Amino acid sequence: MRNFDEFTITDAVMERLKDARDARTHQISAALVRHLHAFIREVEPTFAEWEAGIDFLTRTGHFCDDKRQEFILLSDTLGVSMLVDAINHRGAGASTETTVLGPFFVQDAPECEHGADISGGIAGEPLLISGTVCGSDDKPLPGAVVDIWHSDSDGYYDVQQLDEIGDLAMRARLRTDAHGRFRCWSIKPAAYPIPHDGPVGQMLEAQGRHPWRPAHVHFMIWAARHEKLVTHIFAAGDRYLDSDVVFGVKDSLIGAFVEKPPGGAEDGRVLERPYWHLHHDFRLRLDTADAALAADRLPA
């Protein structure tokens, strides 16, 4: 086959895919070709625009290293990450809704006792974080693993400022008690812009978009025989709730950061200054596909 033109090239490429090594590879490759060719036919790029697109992808790759993944940032800002998340969490029912993991998760967060201060001494307004973890049957899940992480009051995460602060902060791993409860102290997070000094930031500027995310606290929760939950709780009233640059906000994930006066806190701690309290009850979905092995995926 030869002498292809704009009307025959797609069928020719599809024909070359017929010997793909498995059905899934063929399905993915064929869909990519169909949609990519349709995109090119719709926009009819000039050679200069085509070269600019290749250059954009090349620069995106060059911005990736062990501390930054510009392609995930691109996926996030184009809504692809949340689309993948939505497809993989259909039918969640009454369980807590999911959202994107984000780029600042750390695998081995320090494990802390209930009520510990996880702020690492970072300055900010005190925040009590508490919650419960239960299954879809509303029964508490004791021993569930709860990873928590968030930004500081200027919108920076610990991993963005390790040279200055010296160690991880504003993150921890807790385990729920016999009643499925957990709590810790930290500082109130702020809204922040995603890294926008690279190709993705240039794309956002060209699209007339801002790079901001509303203030939030991240949670990743494991429990035996239940699906792992990756989610945020967003600060009610934040100015960016309706324009989150990565499209991660859901109404059910907006929580009240309640301001409290000085004095005795809910966990018995006495504070001499006002503080904030964020409480949320999480419901995990049963892992019906692999219930017998789910316990093996819990962190040690």
Q: The domain spanning residue 249 has which CATH number?
A: 2.60.130.10
Q: Considering the domain boundaries, does residue 64 fall inside one?
A: no
233 and 138 housed in the same domain = yes
| Host domain of residue 157 | 71-297
Question: What is the phi/psi pair of residue 26, to 5°?
Answer: -65, -45
In this predicted structure, what is the pLDDT of residue 217? Answer: 98
19 and 161 housed in the same domain = no
In this predicted structure, what is the pLDDT of residue 2? Answer: 87
In this predicted structure, what is the pLDDT of residue 93? Answer: 75
What tens-digit pLDDT sequence spans the chain (300 residues)?
A: 788 999 999 999 999 999 999 999 999 999 999 999 999 999 999 999 999 999 999 999 999 987 788 999 999 999 999 999 999 988 777 899 999 998 889 888 999 999 999 999 999 999 999 999 999 889 999 999 999 999 999 999 998 998 889 899 999 999 999 999 999 999 999 999 999 999 999 999 999 999 999 999 999 999 999 999 999 999 999 999 999 999 999 999 999 999 999 999 988 999 999 999 999 999 999 987 754 444 445 665
Q: Considering the domain boundaries, does residue 219 fall inside one?
A: yes
Q: What are the distances in angstroms from CA 28 to CA 88, 249, 279, 291?
A: 17, 29, 42, 29
173 and 286 housed in the same domain = yes
- Contacts with 105 (C-beta within 8 Å, 6 or more apart), sequence order: 147, 149, 218, 220
Question: What is the phi/psi pair of residue 227, to 5°?
Answer: -70, 140
In this predicted structure, what is the pLDDT of residue 293? Answer: 46
120 and 164 housed in the same domain = yes
In this predicted structure, what is the pLDDT of residue 193? Answer: 96
What pTM does this model have? 0.90
In this predicted structure, what is the pLDDT of residue 295? Answer: 46
179 and 242 housed in the same domain = yes
112 and 227 housed in the same domain = yes
4 and 127 housed in the same domain = no
Number of domains in the chain: 2
25 and 78 housed in the same domain = no
39 and 76 housed in the same domain = no
Dist CA 85 CA 246 (whole Å): 12
In this predicted structure, what is the pLDDT of residue 297? Answer: 56
In this predicted structure, what is the pLDDT of residue 238? Answer: 98
110 and 207 housed in the same domain = yes
Amino acid identity for residue 280 in this structure: H
291 and 166 housed in the same domain = yes
Q: Considering the domain boundaries, does residue 57 fall inside one?
A: no
36 and 76 housed in the same domain = no
Q: How many residues does the chain have?
A: 300
In this predicted structure, what is the pLDDT of residue 116? Answer: 96
Strands 229-235 and 263-264: unpaired
In this predicted structure, what is the pLDDT of residue 291? Answer: 47
